[in-house]
Structure 1
Amino acid sequence: MHDLTEILNWRRLSDKITLSGQPTEQQLADISELGVTHVVNLGPHHNKGALDDEAGTVASLGMEYVYIPVEFDNPTDEDFAKFCEAIERLKDTRIHVHCIYNARVSAFFYRYAKTGRGFSECETFALMEGIWRPGDDWAAFIGSDDAVRQPNRYAGEDY
């Protein structure tokens, strides 16, 4: 299986899970061609850059769409519980998980790994850090108490 590095912040977590920022309709078709059967979207439909009808596009490509809208300024434990349920339900399938930038997704997988659910905490931290370093509410969300009073920082900008 090859990687679709033209998609914003494309990352491969495992042989069954890929992550990214918002794919275009054509990029969703490319994702489907990788054998992905499920697309999980953590980016609310009202975000700038979101597709007009992502659920319809995903369905037309023969994939299942899972929508867990996470407001960037308010990630919740309820959002995380829905995410965990989806990832565990789909563990034997090929899935692609995205949001608008791959900030939400990378933080969710890091927190998921910290709970001992099968991914390396070190590897998911490195994946997240390659995109951003969460501060404020996101630092609290992932349990990074030392960064709670820090701003969110993005790779290539200030670190």
Structure 2
Amino acid sequence: MNDVSDLLQEIKNYYWVNQYLATSGQPTPEQFKIIQDAGYDVVINLALPTSDYAIVNEGAIVTGLGMVYVHIPVVWEAPKLEDIRLFFGVMESLSGRKVWVHCALNMRVSCFVYLYQKLKLNLPEEQASYPMSEIWQPNEVWTQFIEDVKGALSAIA
């Protein structure tokens, strides 16, 4: 039988960020149990209900396992400053808890986690950009979003 860490590796675009944070693409319904078994007690979903691989009853699955479920639907083609502000607030409220953040493919999540690590945790660029730097080079929409967020929030972060 595989241990939990081996099973986590099977989740689409899974990245362990630190002892309190992991990110991925969309887990399957069965993989949420593995996430819970790994000690995560909060799942944040940044995908839309209509995103590729979305699970209609995801919130019920996650809460049925005794985990907290937070859904912040971020439009892929038009992420908003309000989305990142909400994400920052949720992340700050969960300090010290094991949090799993996912979207369809871990692309929008990786940008949100980058901005959180850069602007809120003040990590150096190389460290803050993980796992984004491993997953993708943000396209024009997301590059502009990153720059807009840095401009809007760096002074007040």
Q: Place the TM-score, normalised by the shorter chain, in its bin.
A: 0.7 to 0.9
Give yes or no for contact 1:106–1:124 (8 Å, CA) kept in 2. Answer: no
Relative to the length of structure 1, the TM-score reads: 0.85
Q: Does the CA contact (< 8 Å) of 2:114 and 2:130 recur in 1?
A: no
SS of corresponding position for 1:97: strand
User: How far does residue 92 in structure 1 lie from its aligned partner after superposition?
Assistant: 1.2
* Structure 2 length-normalised TM: 0.86
Match of 2:35 in 1: 31
Matched residue SS, 2:5? coil
Where does structure 1 lack aligned partners over 5 or more consecutive residues?
145-159
Asked which structure has the greater RCO (Cα within 8 Å, sep 6+), the reply is 2
Q: Does 1:6 align with 2:17?
A: no
1:121, distance to aligned residue in structure 2 (A): 2.8
Q: How does 1:148-159 map to 2 (within 5 A)?
A: none
User: What's the % identity of the aligned pairs?
Assistant: 36
Higher helix share: 2
Given that residues 118 and 128 in structure 2 are in contact (C-alpha distance below 8 angstroms), is that contact kept between their aligned partners in structure 1?
Answer: no
User: Who is 1:135 aligned against?
Assistant: 139
Deviations 1:10-40 (A, max 9, x none): 0011101110000001100000001111000
Q: Which deviates more, 62-71 or 105-114?
A: 105-114
Structure-2 residue corresponding to 1:150:
none
Q: CA deviation at 1:113?
A: 2.2
**Structure 1 runs, 4 residues or longer, greater than 4 Å off:** none
- Distance in 2 (alpha carbons) for counterparts of 1:16 and 1:120: 18
Unmatched runs of 5 consecutive residues or more in structure 2: 149-157
| Pair 1:89-2:93 in alignment | yes
Q: Helix, strand or coil: the match of 1:19?
A: strand
**Which residue identity does 1:2 align to in structure 2?**
S
